[in-house]
Structure 1
Amino acid sequence: MDGWDGCSGYHYSDSIIYGFSHTHLSGTGVSDYADVLLMPITGQAVYSNTDYASAFSHNNEVAEAGYYKVKLDKHNILAELTTSQRTGMHKYSFLQKKGNKIILDLNHRDVVLDAYLEQVDDYTLKGYRISKAWAQKQSTFFYIQFSEKISNLEINSNDSIFSAQKFKSTQLVASIGFGKMASKELMVKVGISFVDMNGAEQNLKSENPNWDFEAFKAANQNQWREELSSIQISDDNESKKTVFYTALYHNLIVPNMFSDVDGRYRGMDDEIHKSATNQYTIFSLWDTYRATHPLYTIIETERAADFIATFKNQYNDGGILPIWELAGNYTGCMIGYHAIPVIADAYFKGITDIPVDTLLEMVLKSANQDNLGLKAYKEFGFISNDDWCIAQLAKAAGKDSVYKVFIARAQSYKNILDTKIGYMRPKLNQIWKAPFDPSEVDFNYTEANSWQYSFYVPQDMYSFMDLLGGEARFEQQLDDLFSASSVTSGRHQSDITGLIGQYAHGNEPSHHMAYLYNYVNKSQKTQSYVHRIVNELYTDQPDGLCGNEDCGQMSAWYVFSTMGFYPVNPANGEYVFGKPFFKKVQINLENGKKFIIEKTGEESAHAFLSEILLNGEKYTKAYINHKDIMNGGVLTFKMSNKNPITYASGDMPNSKIVDGAIIPVPAIRTGKSVFRDTTSIIMESIDGAKVMYSINGSEEKEYVEPILIDSITTISMRSLKEGKTSKTLFSKFYKIPEGRHITLD
C-alpha cells in the first residue's frame, strides 16, 4: 500500500504481503525504512514484488508483542517472526522440502543509492542497502544466516540474471535456493547495523547465537512483559485495559536503538562514532515532546537519560539539535526546535547528568540560527514555549542576560493574538489577515487552523487570559471551541481528524486543551471532555485511533489521561488532573518505588472527581508534581455524582511569566500593502498601549486617527505603555503607478 496508510509497511486494510522487512516507522505521516525485505516462496524464482507477493487473511494471522505469525496463501507457507533489539529471526514452514526459496529484495520501496550482496559461506550472506527517501541517506547493513545450506544464489539486476558471490548495484534482488532441505522448516537470522557489515555480524552473534526460535521468542516476549508491567492496571473493563496496554506498547517501540553492541553508531555527519551510552533514532519531536517524553521520564528514566545523551551526540556530530531525526539524518520536517523542552524537562527532573552550561550551549545554537525561518522569527517574534524552556535553563545556569532575552521571546505569542476576536491571527506587513476564518486551514498554521493553535500558551496561560479579557471570556472561548461546527474551510489537511467542534484530537496541537478548564477552576468540564475523548476516540478495534500514532504521542495522551493527569506544560514537572478511569493503577518505578493511583466512591461513568488524597492526607492542588510521583506513594481519587472538585487560587496549575513582561507590538487593523489611489491605515495596540509611529523617518508621533497614504510609504510603529516599549516594526506600502497593467499571453 502506498501513501499515508502505507507509511509503516503494514495497514489492517492490506490483503497482500510483499515480504518481511527489518526496519519500520510507527504511525508517521511520511514513509521510509522497510529495509532488507525477505519473502519465502516455492517454485521458480521470481523477482518482481507483484510476482512473489502473496495474499493473506486476518483469520490466519497472530500479532503479539514480540511475535507475528501469518499464513501466506500463495504457497501455503506459515511465516513466524520475532526479534531482539538489533536482530530479527524468521521461521518458515513449507509444505515440502524441495523447491523452496527466499527472495531478498534490496530494491523495495525507496530510491536505492547503492546496494551490495556477498555470500560469506554455505549458510551466510552479508551486504548493505543505502537509500534515499525521507532520510536523504540511510545506510542499513545486514548479516543473514540460514538454517539450511544455500544451494543456489541468483541475482537479478535490471532484469538480467547473474550468478556471483559478490554483487554491487543500485538494482539488486536475489533468489536464495536450498535444494532439498533437511526439514520443512527454514529458519533465518538477520543482524542489522547502521554502521557496517561487521557491526551487523557482531550484533547477530551477540544477541542471537543459537537456532532455538521458541526460546528466542520467549526471551523477547518476557522482555516485553517486563516493559509493559511498568504500569499495572486493576480493573474489570477488559476493553479499556486492551487499549491502555496497546497504547503503552506504542510508546515503547520508539525511539529505536541506533548503536551497535560495541557502542558504535553513525553520526549526523555520516561518520562512525562511539558512545558510552545507547544511541537512538526516530525522534518525532513536534509530536512527542508533548506527552511521550514526559511519560518516559516516569516509566523509562534510564532510556530518557540516553535520549538526552543522544541529542548531545547529534549536536556534537552534526552541529545542531534535531527537529525530526531519522537514521542519523536531519529530515527538515516540522517546525520549532522541540528537542529543547525534552532537554529542559529531563534536566529539571534530575534525569541527565550533562552540565547545564553544556545543555544551554546546545539549545542556544538551535534558537539563534537564522535558517528555517528563525531570522524572521527573531525579528517579529512568533514562537514561545521552546524559548521559555531556554529561559529556565539560562536561569539555572546563572546566565541572567540570556534569561532576559528568552523570557521575552517566550511571550511573543502576544504579538499575534488579536484580542478583539480572541484568536491567534496571521499578519502580513503587520496587517491582520482579512478576511479571517478561524476554521480555515492554510499555510499560516502547521497541520491545523487558528482554533487549534490559539490555546497553546502552556508557559503563560494566565497572562493569555488577561489579554483575552479574563477567565470568563477564556472559558467561553473554550466552550466555543468544543461546540463549534466541525467543518473546516480552506485546504484539505489529512491530519485534522477526531473532531469535537474544532478540537482536533487526531493531531497534536489540540491535545492539552481539555485540561485548560482547570486553569479557570472548572474541573468538571475538563473531566467531561476527557471522558468523551477517551470513550469516543479510542477503541480496541483495528481503527482504534482517530489519527496517526505519531511515534507514540497519540497513545501517550491516553496513558496519562486514563491514569488521571496530563502534562499541559511538558517541561515544568506538573501533571494537571483530569479524572481516573481505572480502579487501581500501579506504576513500578525504576528507582524501586511504587506509585499507586486508586479510584474510590461512585462507580458511575459520569461521576466527577470530588476529592484527592496523597498518602492518606487531603491534597488540594489541581496538579501533582513529578517528584511526588517519583517518591512513590498512594494517590486517591474520590469520585462523586455531586460536587465536582474545586481548587483555591493558590493551588491552580502554575503558568504565568512574571519577569520582564513584554509590551505586544501594534497591529494594523485595515490597510492595503499595495494600492492604486489611496489606502487608509488603521492601527491598534493589543493591550491598551499607546501606538507611536513615524512616516518615512519623520518625527515620531502618537497614533490617534486613521492615516491616509497616497504614495510609496514606510511606516515604523511601536507600542508604549507605562514607560515600556515594544519592538519597533516596519510596514511598507506601494502605490501602483497610473496606467500600469499586466498582459497575459
Structure 2
Amino acid sequence: MPAIRSIHRSVLTFALLSITLAASAQKTPKAEKKKIKDYAQLVDPFIGTGGHGHTYPGAVMPFGMVQLSPDTRLEGWDGSSGYHYTDSLVYGFSHTHLSGTGVPDYCDILFMPTTGDPQFKNTEYRSAFKKKNEQASPGYYKTRLDKYNIDVELTATTRVGVHRYDYPGGTSKANIIIDLQHRDEVLDSWIEVVNDHEVRGFRKSKSWATDQQVYFYAKFSKPFKTYGIAGNDQVLQGQSKAAGKNIKMYLQFDNPGEVIAKVGISAVSADGALKNLDAEVPDFDFKKIQKAAKAAWNAELNKIQVEGGAPSVAQATQAAQTDLRTNAGPYGSAPNGKKTAILDYAKIKQTIFYTALYHTMLAPNVYNDVDGQYRGMDQKIHTAQGFNYYTVFSLWDTFRAENPLLTLIDRKRTLDFIKTFLAMYEQGGLLPIWPLASTETYCMIGNHAIPVIVDAYAKGIRDFDAAEAFTAMKAAVNRNQFGLDNYRKNGAVLADTEHQSVSKTLEYAYDDWCIAQMAKMLNKPQDYTEYIQRAQYWKNVFNDQNGFMQARVNGGWYTPFEPTEINHNYTEGNAWQYSFLVPQDVEGLITRMGGKQAFEAKLDELFTTESKLSGNAVPDVAGLIGQYAHGNEPSHHMAYLFNFTDSPDKTQLYIDRILRQEYSEKPDGLAGNEDCGQMSAWYVMSSLGIYNIAPGQNQFQVGIPQFDKAVIYLENGKKFTIINSGASITRSNIYLQGMNLAKKAYNKLYLNNSDIADGGEFEVFTGRLSNKLFLQDLEKPLSQITDDPIVANPYIIAPAKTFKQPVSIQIKSADTDAKIYYTLDGTTPSASSTLYTQPLSISANTTVKAIAVINGKSSFVDEAVFVKTNSNN
C-alpha cells in the first residue's frame, strides 16, 4: 500500500477551485472548529427546472413550509412544480410548491404585482419575463415583469414568504393581485381586509391532495389606498370580506416605489398564520431575511465539504475534446473547448454536487406552526410536543438514498420524521405512503415508511416508541389493500386480480425483510421467522426459465412476455428494471439466476442491450443506459450489484458513467423527476463513493469517490473524511487500486455504518485501468437470507386457459430438489396427493392445484382453471 500511496502522491495536482468565502466558525459538540464555507454560491436552483426534472427555482428555507416561487405553467406533467425553464410568461408568485414530483399540486395563494387598472383573469394580468433577468440562489429569487416594468424579489423564512416589488416611479395605480382560485380546484375560500396594511384569507382545494387547507396572513410595508374583492372576477362593491370558489382581490398603492409584502401561512388557522408571521418576520427588512436564509442554507450545505474533483487544463484537454465531440460528459459543457471552461469544470462539478445536496433538503416540509399546532391526517388540530411535524414524504422514491443520506447527516430531523410517521399512524391508522398536506394520496406502491424507520433504528436513532412503530409496521403490511391480502394468501400478488403485481410483490417482500430486521433488534423471534419468510416471496415471481421477474396468471406465467414491455404488471417500468429488485437477498437472486457468471452476464446485458422500450409510453422511464433507467428509482441500486460478482470494477465504471452522463449543471441536468430529493441524493451518495442498497442493513457499498476530499460532519461531533487523490488527476481514473481505512490497508467492498459514525479517514487510490488482481481479493458485501428458506411456488405451463381439444400441461418448480404434488378435483393438495412425474392431459373443465415440497416444507398452493369450450365455436 505505501507504494501505491507514493505513486498517487507523485501525480497529485493542485486544486482548481478554492472556495474560501469563510463567513464564520461554528463549534461542533466536541469543540472541533468547522470553517463555514459559502457553498450557497455553488447552488443553482435552475438545475432540474428544464427537461422532466420538475423542480422550482424560488425562495425556500431548508425543509421549509413556504416555497415562494414563480408560477409559469398551470397544467400538464411538466408543470407539476408550477414552473418550467422554457416558459416566458409568469402568472405570479405562490407560496407552496412541490419539488420534482410527477403529479401537479400546491401553488397556493398567488400574489402578482401589476400596474394600471386591476385585472382578475390570469391571461390578462400575467406578464412576460426574460431569462437574462432571472436570478436564483438558496433562499432568494429575482425577476423582472416586462409588462409592468416591475422588479420582483423573493425570500423566505420557514413559514413566511417575503416579497419585494419595485414599481416604476410615478405609478398611481400600483397593484397587488391576490388570486385564491389559481391552479387547483377550489372547494372553498375567503379573504378579508383587516386594515390598510393587512389582509388574511383561506383556501381549501382539491387536486392530488383531495382536501388541502391553507390559511394566510399578509402584512405590507406601505398602506394601500384602495382595494377590491372580486367574486367570479367581478368586484363586489363595498365588501371587506367575501367567500366562495372564485375569490380574488386587488390592493392598490399610489406611487409606492418599493412595497414589501410578508405572508405567513398555516394549515391550522389565520391566527396561526399570523403567529408564524410575527414570530419569524417581525419587521420589513428584506435583506436581513435574505441574509438569514443564505446563512441557514450554508449551515446545512456545510455538513458535507468537498474539494477538487477535476484535473488541470493539460490533463483535461484530451478528455474534454472527446466530450465536446460527443456533447456528453461534464466537459461537454465547455463551449468550443475553451481552456477557461475547462478550468471551470471543478466549479461545475461542485455546482452539480451542492445543488443536489440543496435539492435533498427541499422536502419533506415542516407542517406545524411555531406553537406546534398542525392539521393531522384526521383533519383535526394537534400539537407536536418536542418535535416538528412534516408532510410531503415521497417515500417510494426517497427510502432508497434520500432518507439514508439524512440518517447520516441529519439524525435529529430523521427522528422528527419518524415521530411524524407515528403521529400519522395514531391519527389515521396507517403509516404514511405518500402524504401531502393532511391527505394520504396512496401514491405509488409499498409501505416505505417501514425501511426509513428500520434503517434509522439500526443506525442508532432510537428515541421513539419502537414498540408502537413495530405494531404500526405490521398493521401496514397486514391490511387488505393494494393486493396485500392476495400477497399473504398466495406468497405473491397475482396478476389475475391486481395490477402492478410483480412490482408490488417485490416491494412488499423488501418491506417484510425490514420488519424482520426490526423484529430481530427487538428480540421477537416469532415475528422474525414470519417476516423473514415473507421477505423471500420474491422467489414466487421469478421465472427460472428466462431469468426475469414475471407476472403470475392462472397458475402460470403471464404471456406473451417481452422483458422490454412496460405494461400493467410493473410500476413505471418493465421486467428488465424490476428483475434485480431484491436488495435484501442479492445472493439468493444470484443463485436463482444460475450463479455469479450468469448473474454478471445478465447485469451486463441490462446495461448494454440495444433493445428499446416497448408497450406503454411512460415518461418516467428515462435516463436509459441499455435498459437501465436512471430516471426512475427502481434502477438506482443496480450498478452497485456488480460488487457481488467477480467484476466489481464494473460498479466503478457504471457509477462514474451515470454520474457524468445523467447529471449536468444545465436546467435539464436531471435524468428524470427529482422526486423530492431522491434523484439528487443518489448523486450525493455516489459522489461520496458510498451507497446503501438495502436501507435497514448497516453496510454502505463502496463505489468511486468523485472528489479529492469530502468531509462528512457528523452530529456526534466527529467527521468522516473520504479521500481520492485521483479525482483531480484525470477523468479516466475510475478504477480502485487500493484502499486505506484509518491509515491501514482495507480489503472490503463495503463500509459498515460504525466505520463512518466513529469518524476517521477512508482513502481510495484510483487508476485508469481496472485492477482485477486487487479487486478479486476484496471481501464482498452481504445480502443473503439464510434463515427459514421457503419453497418457491410451482408453476403450470399450458397453451391457454380455454381449449377445444385435449391439452397437455406441465407443472414445474424453480427448486430442482422439490417434489410436486397435485389434485385435479379442486381439493387442496398435500404430500399425500398425487406426485407429479409427467405432463398431464386435460380434456374437461378442470381445476389444477399443486404444491412444491422440500423436506416436508410446502410452498403455497398454485392454482389454474382450465375451461373446455364448444368445439363448434
Say yes or no: TM over 0.5. yes
State the match for 2:140 in structure 1. 67
Residues 633-652 of structure 1: matches in 2 within 5 Å?
A: 633-642=760-769, 643-644=771-772, 646=774, 651-652=779-780
User: TM-score w.r.t. structure 1 length?
Assistant: 0.97
- Corresponding residue of 1:468: 593
1:616 aligns with 2:743: yes
Q: Does structure 2 conserve the Cα–Cα contact (< 8 Å) formed by 1:522 and 1:646? A: no
Alignment map for 1:209-358 (pairs within 5 Å): 209-235=282-308, 236=310, 237-276=346-385, 277-358=387-468
Shift of 1:523: 1.6
Alignment of 1:494-505 (within 5 A): 494-505=619-630
Name the SS of the counterpart of 1:552 in structure 2: helix
Match of 1:546 in 2: 671
Indicate yes or no: 2:200 matched with 1:126.
Answer: yes
Give the deviation of 1:98 after TM superposition: 1.6
1:40 to 113, 121, 134: 113
Contact 2:433/2:443, CA 8 A, preserved across alignment:
yes
Q: Which amino acid aligns with 2:609?
A: A
SS at match of 1:651: coil
Contact map agreement 2:192 2:199 (CA 8 A) in 1: yes
Specify the alignment match of 1:675 in structure 2: 803
Matched ranges for 1:253-652 at <5 A: 253-276=362-385, 277-382=387-492, 383=505, 384-601=509-726, 603-607=729-733, 608-642=735-769, 643-644=771-772, 646=774, 651-652=779-780
Q: Report SS of the residue matched to 2:725.
A: strand
Whether 1:665 aligns to 2:793 is yes
Alpha-carbon deviations, 1:410-445, whole Å to 9, x = none? 000100111121100111112111221110000100
> 2:160 & 2:268 partners in 1: Cα distance?
14
Q: In structure 2, how many angstroms separate the alpha carbons of the residues matched to 1:172 and 1:342?
A: 41
Q: Which residue of 2 aligns with 1:22?
A: 95
Aligned-pair CA distance for 1:147: 1.1
Check whether the contact 1:257–1:281 (CA below 8 A) recurs between aligned residues.
yes
Once the 2 structures are TM-superposed, how far is the Cα of residue 738 of structure 1 from its aligned partner? 5.1
Equivalent residue letter for 2:848: I
Residue deviations 1:585-619, cap 9 Å, x none?
A: 01112222111111135823222111111110111
1:696 maps onto 2:805 in alignment: no
Task: Judge which range, 160-169 or 729-738, deviates more.
Answer: 729-738
What residue identity is the alignment partner of 1:132? K
Q: 2-side partners of 1:293 and 1:160: how far apart?
A: 48
Q: Confirm or deny: 8 A CA contact 2:191 2:201 kept in the other structure.
A: yes
Q: Distance in 1 between matches of 2:162 and 2:233?
A: 30
After TM superposition, give the deviation of residue 735 of structure 1 in Å.
2.4
2:863 is the alignment partner of 1:730: yes
Unaligned segments of structure 1, at least 5 residues = 741-745
Residue-by-residue CA offset, 1:673-725 (whole Å, 9 max, x unaligned): 22333332221101212221111146721212222222221111111123321
Q: Give, in whole Å, the separation in 1 of the partners of 2:89 and 2:611.
A: 35
The change in CA–CA distance for 1:345 and 1:615 in structure 2 (over 3 A counts) is: same
2:246 aligns with 171
Shift of 1:357: 1.6
2:276 corresponds to: 203
Structure 2: gaps (5+ residues): 1-72, 311-345, 493-504
Whole-Å Cα distance in 2 between the matches of residues 8 and 646 of structure 1? 47
Cα separation, 1, equivalents of 2:799 and 2:808: 5
Distance of 1:16 and 1:676 partners within structure 2: 64
Cα distance, 1:737 vs structure 2: 4.0
C-alpha contact 1:387 1:406 (8 A) present in aligned 2: yes
1:610 alignment partner, SS class: strand
Which fold has the larger relative contact order, with Cα–Cα distance below 8 Å and residues 6 or more apart in sequence?
A: 2
1:394 CA drift (Å): 1.5
Q: Which moved more, 1:36-45 or 1:689-698?
A: 689-698
**1 CA distance for matches of 2:773 and 2:656?**
16
Q: 1:709 matched to which residue of 2?
A: 842
Match of 2:131 among 58, 78, 84: 58
Task: Tell me the number of residue pairs that the alignment of Structure 1 and Structure 2 aligns.
Answer: 738
Farther off after superposition, 307-316 or 169-178: 169-178
Contact between 1:82 and 1:220, CA under 8 Å: does it hold in 2? yes
For 1:521 and 1:561, the matched residues in 2 are separated by 21
Structure 1 Cα separation of the partners of residues 146 and 372 of structure 2: 42
Percent identity between the aligned chains?
A: 45
Deviation at 1:736, TM superposition (A): 2.6
**1:167-225 deviations in Å (ceiling 9; x for gaps):** 110111111112x24x4001000001011111100000000011110111101111111
2:513 maps to a residue whose letter is W
User: What SS does structure 2 have at the residue aligned with 1:128?
Assistant: strand
Shift of 1:650: 8.3
Deviation at 1:570, TM superposition (A): 1.8
Q: Contact 1:523–1:645 at 8 Å: present in 2 too?
A: no
For 1:697 and 1:48, the matched residues in 2 are separated by: 66
- Counterpart Cα distance in 1 of 2:740 and 2:555: 51
Q: Distance in 1 between matches of 2:193 and 2:172?
A: 21
Shift of 1:486: 4.7
What is residue 229 of structure 2 aligned with on the other side?
155
Q: Secondary structure at the match of 1:238?
A: helix
User: Post-superposition shift, 1:373?
Assistant: 1.5
